[in-house]
Structure 1
Amino acid sequence: MAEQLTQTIQALNLKIQQLEEKSAYQEDTLESLNDTIGKQHQDIQKLQTQIRLLSEFIKNLKSDLDSGIKHASEETPPPHY
């Protein structure tokens, strides 16, 4: 009876140790994922800023081109016509 109780206690201690190891691994993984999410958030903010700046640049470029290019009906035909 005492031997069976000792085996049960050892089995429970082993299970507790395994659960503690899994818990420690999960905590480490969670911390790593949180760091990754934080970095990704910063990257996304930088990319959004770059997209906004590029969009403004393209709009300004288009506006500059539109103001300098005449419509086809306003152009004088080339000399070979």
Structure 2
Amino acid sequence: MSKTITPDVILEKFHQLEINQSFQDETIAALETTVGKQHQQIQLLENKIQLLTEYIKSLKIQDGIKKPEEEVPPPHY
């Protein structure tokens, strides 16, 4: 018993594939937009981290804060 595929069945499957592709295209476009926004946010956050790092380094220099290994141990040691 073999199944015959009629032109109507082929046409219906073709239409379903077109619909699926349309949804996929919309999803891809939405994902591209989201990834673009996330990339911009990441760059902004990286810039802020860099500025904060430089600010903290400048505070250490101004206040004379030493690294732990440079500190003199407290008198009770």
Q: Same fold (TM over 0.5)?
A: yes
CA distance in 1, matches of 2:23, 2:6: 26
* Residue identity opposite 2:36 in structure 1: G
CA distance in 1, matches of 2:62, 2:55: 10
Deviation at 1:10, TM superposition (A): 1.1
Q: Specify the alignment match of 1:29 in structure 2.
A: 27
State TM-score, norm by structure 2. Answer: 0.75
1:28-52 superposed Cα distances (whole Å, 9 cap, x missing partner): 0110010011101100110011001
Specify which structure has the bigger relative contact order, considering alpha-carbon pairs within 8 angstroms and separated by 6 or more residues: 2
Larger radius of gyration: 1
RMSD: 2.3
Q: Secondary structure at the match of 2:6?
A: helix
Q: Percent of aligned positions with the same letter in both sequences?
A: 39
- Indicate the structure with greater helix content: 1
Does 1:64 pair with 2:49?
no
Gaps of 5+ in 1: 73-81
- Runs of 4+ that moved beyond 4 A: none
Q: Specify the alignment match of 2:7 in structure 1.
A: 9
Gaps of 5+ in 2: 66-70, 73-77
State TM-score, norm by structure 1. Answer: 0.72
